[in-house]
Amino acid sequence: MPDVRALKERIERREYTVGVIGLGYVGLPLVLRFGEVGFRVVGFDVDPAKVKQLGEGSSYIQHIPTERVSALARSGLFQATADLGRLNEPDALIICVPTPLTRQREPDLQYVERTADAIARTLRPGQLVCLESTTYPGTTEEVLLPRFTARGLGVGEHFFLAFSPEREDPANAHFTTATIPKVLGGVTPACLELAGALYAQVVDKVVPVSSTRVAEAAKILENVYRAVNIALVNELKVAFDRMGVDIWEVIDAAKTKPFGFQAFYPGPGLGGHCIPIDPFYLTWKAREYGVATRFIELAGEINSAMPAYVVQRLVDALNARGKPLHGARVLVLGVAYKRDTGDARESPGIKILDLLLAKGAQAEYSDPYFPRLPRGRHSTLAMDSAELSAESLGRYDAVLLVTDHSAFPYALIHEASSLIVDSRNAFRQRGLTGKHVVPA
């Protein structure tokens, strides 16, 4: 039977190998962090192109410098592989695979389940498995645990199982993997102790909780909180617009209160892998217990309606100038879901492009992070990013700002464009106003 104290001593001596499954926006920062403090790391991914690129010391994620990846590759501490038959090699396996929704807006756990099945085939005594993928409360014990104990291994005795929600915020200069507190729940006290000892080597603060369910629920709460509050300001934006009241000025005034208020901002819709998706994991699970999560579902409806609202604001602005949307040349600024990132997952910019094209507009886009639209689950459009110049901007009937990248030449756009529809308040924040700048 594995000795937890001996395993902790191996962790402290860095005589412990960490495996990270899923080398995307969550997994790759973990790989780098563990490798940079001296752990041997094996990265697993089913995409051979990612494995090859990382093996060559190159980063494929915009905000993660290639220099960090190449330095780790040169150190000899990191290997990337697509061979899941090697899952028995690491002492710890951290699961960072996607947890999307199905077309019916229900949890799609196929990637977690496939990963768990692969681990179960090679699981050996002493291994620690930690799930980081965001999911509903109960997943670790209901989906992973039965697969791992089916071969007769006991949790907390022969192997260890925990859940620690990822809290990555791509391109956030103020918080990193190391400085964001790490919530952690274990299936047993021994599981919590060993996982806590491992994470304590790479993060400043580990926050232990009483169970994996609490840890799973904490991440869902974080994202539900944001989704509901964003939906609130989006709804208020629509109401205040009808009243002739500027929502941005209202928020600026309200946030001067030093207590009892936190500013959230409206936008063209939600994007990313967390806020548009994770709350529906809880909605689905709550139905199992006969609970209707009405706030979550209403927030989802409001936020999902925002791309159409922004397009309607564009239609109204064009109509006021005697121009129909059908046949109009429209430039969408930004297809990333978030400012200054190369991440288009669930992006409202792509949804807005789809809506514009469906309504007969001659729509194009410009985004410094996407020279060409990424083909895949989040986009089926084949389109190249348009260059921004005074001449090219003058050819569009309207420019629609969706993602407020700091790299955009706002003064040039303001001067050269005949109509700007701004869903982020980016132009006014820079003192660029006028009758041709319309909020959305």
Task: Clarify whether 274 is annotated catalytic.
Answer: yes
Looking at the DSSP bridge assignments, the partners of residue 348 are none
**What is the three-class DSSP state of 77?**
coil
d(CA 354, CA 344) in angstroms, rounded, equals 14
**What is the three-class DSSP state of 130?**
strand
Look-up: residue for tokens 């996982």? 195
Rg of the chain in Å (alpha carbons): 24
d(CA 231, CA 202) in angstroms, rounded, equals 35
Cα three-residue angle 68-73-76, rounded to 5 degrees: 130
- In terms of Cα–Cα distance, which of 52, 113, 25, 49 is closest to 346? 25
Look-up: residue for tokens 């000899």? 76
d(CA 408, CA 435) in angstroms, rounded, equals 21
| Catalytic residue (one of 96, 130, 191, 274) | 274
Torsion angle defined by CA atoms of residues 427, 344, 338 and 29, in that order, rounded to the nearest 10 degrees: -150
Annotated catalytic residues are 274
